[in-house]
Amino acid sequence: MSALLGWGFVAAMAALPLVMPDPYLLAVLTSAGIFIIGAISLNLLLGYTGQLSLGHAAFFGLGAYASALTSLGFDIGIGFGHRLRLEPQPVAVGFLAAILVSGCFGWLLGRLAFRIRGAYFVIITICFAQVLRMVALNWVELTQGPMALVGIPPFALWLPGRGVVELYAKNQTYWLVLGVAVLAFLVVRQIVHSRIGRALVALRENETLARSVGIRVTHYLVIATVVSAAIAGAAGSLFAHYVRIVDPDVFLFIYTVTMVIMVITGGKGTLWGPVVGGLIFGPLPDMLRGSAPPEAQWIAYGLAMILLVMFLPRGIVPAVAGWLPARRAAAPLPAPAPSPVQGGAG
């Protein structure tokens, strides 16, 4: 998709609250936007490194907890009679803390997990999210456990002439999420089009070959994980201050699945894939809410996933790009072909 078209899309989305100030629509799009940011970050791992990371909710949840706890403050015992205290901080500090904490855990998981590939990697990432969920459930002193963290302050921004403004209004949060989404998109695009991105694609396509020409595989994989985790943490922070309640369920596999579906529907390994997939699956839960029980929604998600893998394995964006031969020159990077690295069976 050309840059002009992209910026046109962003401008249209930015103008939407002015044209249609319907709070319901904006709320739906805001929560969809938060998950689109998560999907954009997941795409870096799933699409460009070819690693099926199924613990992405871990980074999302870490970001949510880090941001909420920083802005609420905490006071916990750390053993031997010492206590760790933090006074409530401004929300912007919480946002940065979310990025930092998630990034650090991304580094940890990256170092740990990229010694292994294929099925083992998938399972270690799922377990990572599960362990964090158990910690969030049981470390009641810090996280309030299943009682959840409540009363999280809304986002606050410093605006010229008006000082620090708390963003309660739907359209303000909407613009904030849109802004972060655009930033996340640009960061990922920058990485993909840089030396790092080319290294990632090289090792996705053929790891042995990439290694043989001197690409430091683990090094680049860890960079990609850290960036991906940090962006997911930012999305988690937005989620925490938008919903204003965080419970251990943010680590549920379901959230990872939501992001995975967005990425593969739109097209993994394409910059616009997560956005397109997110605009389809993001508002779906809200649209179905009135007419069907939540189980029906998840059944629909599951069936969609199966049908996509069977009939549109590369996703919508590459398929559409293929139908428009004139645009082919501007088409995104080709979707990953089943390669020995990914296939990973032998």
Partner 1 sequence: MQQALQHLVNGTILGGTYALLGIGLTLIFGVMRVVNFTHGELYAFGAYMAYGLVALLRLDFYLSLLLATLLGTALGAAIELLLLRPLRRADIDSVMLAMIGAALVLQNANMWAWGGVAKLVPSPFAGTPLVFGPVSVMPLRLFVLGISCALLVGFWLLLERTRAGIAMRATFQDAETASLMGVRVGWVSTATFAIGSGLAAAAGALLGPVFMVSPTMGDLVGLKAFAIVILGGLGNLPGAVIGGFALGYVEEFGGGFLSTEYRDAFGFLLIILVLAVRPQGLVALKERVG
218 binds partner 1 (CB under 8 A): no
H or E element at residue 246: strand 245-246
Candidate residues 159, 245, 299, 330; the one interacting with partner 1 per rule CB under 8 A: 299
Residues of this chain, 139-178, that bind partner 1 according to CB under 8 A = none
- Among the residue ranges 34-42, 156-164, 221-229, 300-308, the one whose residues contact partner 1 (CB under 8 A): 300-308
Give the bridge partners for 245, in sequence order: 150
Q: Which is nearer to partner 1, 114 or 185 (CB)?
A: 114
C-alpha closest to that of 37 among 242, 221, 195: 242
CB 205 within 8 A of CB 336: yes
Candidate residues 7, 84, 115, 245; the one interacting with partner 1 per rule CB under 8 A: 115
- Rounded to the nearest 10 degrees, the angle between the axes of helix 56-72 and helix 253-266 is 120
305 binds partner 1 (CB under 8 A): yes
137 binds partner 1 (CB under 8 A): yes
255 binds partner 1 (CB under 8 A): no
- Among the residue ranges 87-95, 219-227, 229-237, 333-341, the one whose residues contact partner 1 (CB under 8 A): 333-341
- Report DSSP state, residue 338: -
203 binds partner 1 (CB under 8 A): no
- Among the residue ranges 93-101, 118-126, 153-161, 225-233, the one whose residues contact partner 1 (CB under 8 A): 118-126
Candidate residues 29, 210, 260, 276; the one interacting with partner 1 per rule CB under 8 A: 260
52 binds partner 1 (CB under 8 A): yes
122 binds partner 1 (CB under 8 A): yes
117 binds partner 1 (CB under 8 A): yes
Total of chain residues touching partner 1, rule CB under 8 A: 50
Q: Which is nearer to partner 1, 17 or 248 (CB)?
A: 248
123 binds partner 1 (CB under 8 A): yes
Q: Where are the alpha helices (DSSP H) in the chain?
A: 3-19, 23-43, 56-72, 91-113, 118-138, 140-143, 170-192, 195-205, 207-212, 217-243, 253-266, 273-281, 284-289, 294-311, 316-323, 340-343
Q: What is the DSSP string of 112-150?
A: HHTTS-HHHHHHHHHHHHHHHHHHHHH-HHHH-GGG-EE
State the binding string over 269-298 for partner 1 (x if CB under 8 A, else -). Answer: ------------------------x-xx-x
Q: Which is nearer to partner 1, 119 or 324 (CB)?
A: 119
- In whole angstroms, give the CA distance from residue 40 to residue 272: 9
Please, what is the minimum distance in Å from the beta carbon of residue 51 to partner 1? 9
Find where tokens 């790891």 sit. Answer: 207
C-alpha closest to that of 62 among 29, 108, 115, 116: 108
* Residue 107, amino acid: W
- In whole angstroms, give the CA distance from residue 263 to residue 272: 9
- In whole angstroms, give the CA distance from residue 270 to residue 333: 6
C-alpha closest to that of 38 among 274, 219, 205: 274
Candidate residues 14, 135, 243, 288; the one interacting with partner 1 per rule CB under 8 A: 135
Residues of this chain, 61-90, that bind partner 1 according to CB under 8 A = none
- Among the residue ranges 7-15, 18-26, 121-129, 319-327, the one whose residues contact partner 1 (CB under 8 A): 121-129
- Among the residue ranges 46-54, 83-91, 175-183, 186-194, the one whose residues contact partner 1 (CB under 8 A): 46-54
- Report DSSP state, residue 336: P
CB neighbourhood size of 40 (10 A): 30
Please, what is the minimum distance in Å from the beta carbon of residue 45 to partner 1? 12
Contacts with partner 1, residue ranges (CB under 8 A)? 50, 52, 54, 112-113, 115-124, 126-128, 130-131, 134-135, 137-138, 253, 257, 260, 264, 293, 295-296, 298-299, 301-306, 308-310, 313, 338-339, 341-345
